[in-house]
């Protein structure tokens, strides 16, 4: 499947990926409205980790053997058959946070808005290219087909 790969060598820590992710998951999908008018503000589904000059965007790796899928007791966490992406059905999620506990990448967050549900990267479901990749100014994020390693992480 196509996955988001991060090349930390060229991540400039601008956090435009976070900003555009937030907009993508807002109600209006309009950047100024999403930030200035929508309350509570939508959440970015990824986080830029930084230490010194090193930085990289961390989002769900959509693992082949996903621990969150195993841990989910309601079946909210599921794999999309078409794209292979690991998605969370927020209607089914009861907020037990086992997925957050087991995710080795810390890529799942508690949603602080609306229903209390697990919030994670959905590869911008329906978009050809996820917005974080499309808006990365330095091509540090790329969306490509590649044979995943053992745990699916790159």
Partner 1 sequence: MGISLKTSEFRIERNEDRCIACQVCVRQCANDIHAYDAEDDWVYSDETNCVACHRCVTLCPTHALTIRRTPLDFRENANWTAQRITSIYKQAETGGILLTGMGNDRPHTIYFDHMLLNASQVTNPSIDPLREPMELRTYIGRKPDRVQVSRDDNGQIRLETKISPQLTLETPIMFSAMSYGSISYNACLSLARAAKKSGIMYNTGEGGLHSSLYEYGPWTIAQVASGRFGVHPEYLQAAAALEIKIGQGAKPGIGGHLPGEKVSAEVSRTRMIPEGTDALSPAPHHDIYSIEDLRQLIFALKEASNYEKPVGVKIAAVHNVAPIASGIARAGADYIAIDGLRGGTGAAPTIIRNNVGIPIEMAISAVDTRLRQEGIRNQVSLIAAGSIRNSADVVKIIALGADAAYIGTGALVALGCHLCQKCYTGKCNWGIATQDPYLTKRLNPNIGSRRLSNLIRAWSLEIKEMLGGMGINAIDSLRGNRDHLRGVGLNQVELDTLGIKGAGQS
Binding-site string for partner 1 from residue 42 to residue 81, where x marks contact by CB under 8 A and - marks none: ----------xx----------------------------
The reply to whether 128 sits near partner 1 by the rule CB under 8 A is no
Segment holding 79, helix H or strand E: strand 77-79
Figure out which of the listed residues 1, 13, 69, 80 binds partner 1, where binding follows CB under 8 A: 13
Q: How far apart are CA 125 and CA 115, in angstroms?
A: 20
State the DSSP H helix or E strand holding residue 32, giving kind and residue range, or none if neither.
helix 31-36
42 Cβ contact partners less than 8 Å away, ≥ 6 residues apart: 22, 23, 25, 26, 27, 34, 113
- Draw the binding track, 87-126, toward partner 1 (x: CB under 8 A; -: no contact): ----------------------------------------
Residue 29 CB, shortest distance to partner 1, in Å, is 13
* Alpha-carbon torsion (27, 32, 38, 41), positive or negative: positive
- Residue carrying structure tokens 């996820």: 130
Residue 9 touching partner 1 (CB under 8 A) = yes
135 binds partner 1 (CB under 8 A): yes
Residues in touch with partner 1 (CB under 8 A): 9-16, 19-20, 31-32, 35-36, 52-53, 135, 137-140
């Amino acid at each position: 499947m196509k996955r988001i790969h991060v090349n930390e060598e060229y991540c400039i820590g601008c956090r435009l990926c976070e900003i555009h992710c937030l907009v993508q998951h807002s109600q209006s999908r309009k950047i100024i409205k999403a930030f200035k008018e929508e309350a509570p503000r939508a959440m970015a589904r990824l986080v830029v980790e930084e230490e010194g000059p090193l930085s990289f965007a961390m989002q769900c790796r959509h693992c082949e053997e996903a621990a969150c899928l195993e841990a989910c007791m309601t079946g909210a966490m599921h794999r999309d058959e078409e794209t292979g992406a690991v998605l969370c059905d927020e209607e089914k999620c009861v907020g037990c946070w086992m997925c957050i506990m087991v995710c080795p990448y810390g890529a799942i967050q508690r949603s602080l808005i609306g229903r209390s549900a697990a919030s994670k990267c959905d590869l911008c479901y329906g978009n050809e290219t996820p917005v974080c990749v499309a808006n990365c100014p330095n091509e540090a994020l790329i969306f490509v087909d590649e044979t995943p390693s053992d745990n699916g992480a790159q």
